[in-house]
């Protein structure tokens, strides 16, 4: 593949970072051609692997001078094509910036570089009786920089929040190579709330080179309920009933029968394979509070139609229950040539209805859907099974995924919960937002990156694209695009 980059530019990259930190070999570049959404691939021209903040700044200044597009990449575990390389640009991989710079047990914070793995923060903080709460299923591999870019959540986001609720401060390098500090080490920071703006911005506004995250005390008591139901709708209604009853579990996850069976065969977590759905409901805190919450939860779950309620007998069984849930995605990979993972979010009260509609979509398109998701905050993760080697199968999977996303918007939800928009959901931004809103997003992007060099072509669709897609702003289940008349 011939390089589109100026040879002098490439040589300057090697001078800045050293030739061992620059990848141009086509075979070596294939590692960086996609994220976990492998259906979308694009080979980068060059991959740079900086080791210091100063190298990131120098690289961005160089790219800005030559007008070279830049895509920042963490561990590549994303599921929305968010780090798909620009054909005429470079990838800046942050995997070598992986130091935990400081842990402050008195202020309960950790200062880390972007390439630090999510789980590594909790492992390092454990010695102080602390941990980092957001825990995506990929936490053993995903990095804090990627978590910040996507505003990742995890199984404990119901009680402890998403990444945006657990990051206090970031250092971010702009496209011109300037270093910005957003947020602060205290509970409040001066000026505009740019920290929340940067978290979840998917690499469009700058590159995070350091973050200060909030640490929490390890709870003295943790207990998990495994609850079986005879229908998915019952399980969905039970989720709404638990929260409406005044309980806030640390985690509240739902798996349907297909997910239960495939996960049990893979992990042997002792799941009830005959159940149509199960909930994993975890409470943590002081022993007395956990004991009270469990009694109350049992009463609510029984009234909601639970056919079986188990309390984890010990720490090992509790970990085994969660090991099954966290291994659900790879477990599904054992039964299907390919799968397409969706990520919409809905109000909890609509869980049962949305699950029923997803089942109807599945039958209409003759594709199996396996449901595994963060039920407590309404973050759906339907896995659409298909075979990329079968003509037309991927197109059907995309269509089914689109139907699910549009349904999420129709019931008052959103097209993404924690995976981001990337390339995958670009068209469905036209469904979620009006032309005026998309225009405002574009102006905000331009304020940070006037030449559109940072992660170009992601997240914000053009109005022309929306017109071609034929969708614009769903309200009350009706789709129209009157806003386009003004453009």
The model's pLDDT over 379-405, given as tens digits with 9 standing for 90+, comes to 999 999 999 999 999 999 999 999 999
Domain assignments of the chain as residue spans, ordered by start: 7-93, 100-217, 221-330, 336-410, 429-486
| pTM (2 d.p.) | 0.92
CATH topology agreement for domains 221-330 and 336-410: yes
Angle at 325 (CA atoms; ends 321, 328), nearest 5 degrees? 135
pLDDT band at 5 (very low <50, low <70, confident <90, very high): confident
Of 229, 333, 332, 224, whose CA–CA distance to 281 is shortest? Answer: 224
What CATH number does the domain located at 100-217 have? 3.30.465.10
**326-350 tens-digit pLDDT:** 999 999 999 999 999 999 999 999 9
Mean pLDDT, residues 86-106: 96
**104-117 tens-digit pLDDT:** 999 999 999 999 99
Q: What share of the chain has pLDDT > 70, as a percent?
A: 96
Q: Does pLDDT of 323 surpass 90? A: yes
Note the pLDDT of residue 284. Answer: 97
Query: What are residue 79's DSSP bridge partners?
Result: none
Residues 189/170, Cβ–Cβ less than 8 Å:
no
Which string of DSSP letters, residue by residue, matches 418-458? SS--TTTTTTTHHHHS-HHHHHHHHHHHHHH-TT--BSTTS
β-strands 474-475, 478-479 pairing: antiparallel
Note the pLDDT of residue 468. Answer: 87
What CATH number does the domain located at 7-93 have? 3.30.43.10
User: CA 210 to CA 158: how far, in whole Å?
Assistant: 26
Note the pLDDT of residue 253. Answer: 96
Of 29, 45, 115, 47, whose CA–CA distance to 75 is shortest? Answer: 115
Note the pLDDT of residue 137. Answer: 87
pLDDT band at 374 (very low <50, low <70, confident <90, very high): very high
CATH topology of domain 336-410: Alpha-Beta Plaits (3.30.70)
pLDDT band at 472 (very low <50, low <70, confident <90, very high): low
The CATH class of 221-330 is alpha beta
CA–CA distances in Å: residue 190 to residues 149, 183, 239: 22, 8, 38
Helices (H), 126-193: 144-150, 157-160
In SS3 terms, 361-392 reads as HHHHHCCCEEEEEEHHHCEECEEEEECCCCCC
């Amino acid at each position: 593949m011939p390089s589109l980059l100026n040879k002098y530019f490439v040589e300057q990259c090697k001078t800045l970072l050293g030739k061992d930190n620059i990848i141009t070999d086509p075979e070596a570049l294939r590692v960086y051609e996609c994220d976990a959404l492998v259906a979308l691939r694009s080979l980068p021209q060059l991959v740079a692997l900086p080791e210091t903040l100063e190298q990131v700044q120098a690289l961005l200044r160089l790219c800005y001078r030559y007008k070279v597009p830049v895509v920042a990449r963490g561990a590549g575990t994303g599921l929305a094509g968010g780090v798909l390389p620009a054909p005429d640009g470079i990838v800046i991989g942050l995997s070598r910036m992986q130091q935990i710079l400081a842990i402050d047990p008195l202020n309960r914070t950790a200062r880390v570089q972007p390439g630090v793995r999510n789980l590594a923060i909790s492992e390092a903080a454990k010695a102080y009786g602390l941990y980092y709460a957001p825990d995506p299923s990929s936490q053993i591999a995903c990095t804090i920089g990627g978590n910040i870019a996507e505003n990742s959540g995890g199984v404990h986001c119901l009680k402890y929040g998403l990444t945006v609720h657990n990051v206090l401060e970031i250092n971010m390098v702009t496209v011109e190579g300037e270093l910005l500090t957003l947020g602060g080490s205290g509970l409040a920071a001066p000026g505009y709330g740019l920290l929340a703006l940067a978290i979840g911005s998917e690499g469009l506004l700058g590159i995070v080179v350091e973050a200060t995250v909030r640490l929490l005390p390890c709870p003295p008591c943790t207990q998990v309920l495994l609850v079986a139901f005879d229908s998915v709708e019952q399980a969905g209604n039970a989720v709404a009933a638990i929260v409406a009853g005044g309980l806030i579990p640390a985690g509240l996850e739902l798996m349907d029968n297909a997910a239960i069976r495939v996960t049990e065969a893979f992990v042997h977590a002792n799941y009830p394979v005959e159940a149509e759905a199960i909930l994993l409901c975890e409470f943590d805190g002081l022993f007395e509070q956990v004991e009270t919450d469990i009694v109350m939860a049992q009463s609510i779950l029984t009234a909601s139609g639970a056919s079986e309620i188990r309390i984890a007998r010990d720490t090992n069984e509790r970990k085994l229950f969660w090991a099954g849930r966290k291994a659900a995605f790879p477990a599904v990979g054992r039964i299907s040539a390919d799968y397409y993972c969706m990520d919409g979010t809905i109000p909890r009260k609509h869980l049962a209805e949305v699950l029923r509609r997803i089942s109807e979509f599945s039958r209409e398109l003759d594709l199996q859907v396996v449901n595994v998701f963060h039920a407590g905050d309404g973050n759906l993760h339907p896995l659409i099974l298909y075979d990329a080697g079968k003509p037309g199968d991927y197109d059907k999977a995309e269509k089914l995924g689109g139907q699910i996303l549009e349904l999420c918007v129709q019931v008052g939800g959103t097209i993404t919960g924690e995976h981001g928009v990337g390339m995958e959901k670009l068209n469905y931004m036209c469904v979620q937002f009006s032309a005026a809103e998309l225009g405002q997003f574009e102006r905000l992007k331009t304020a940070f990156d006037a030449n559109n060099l940072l992660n170009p072509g992601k997240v914000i669709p053009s109005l022309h694209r929306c017109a071609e897609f034929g969708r614009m702003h769903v309200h009350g289940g009706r789709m129209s695009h009157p806003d386009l008349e003004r453009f």
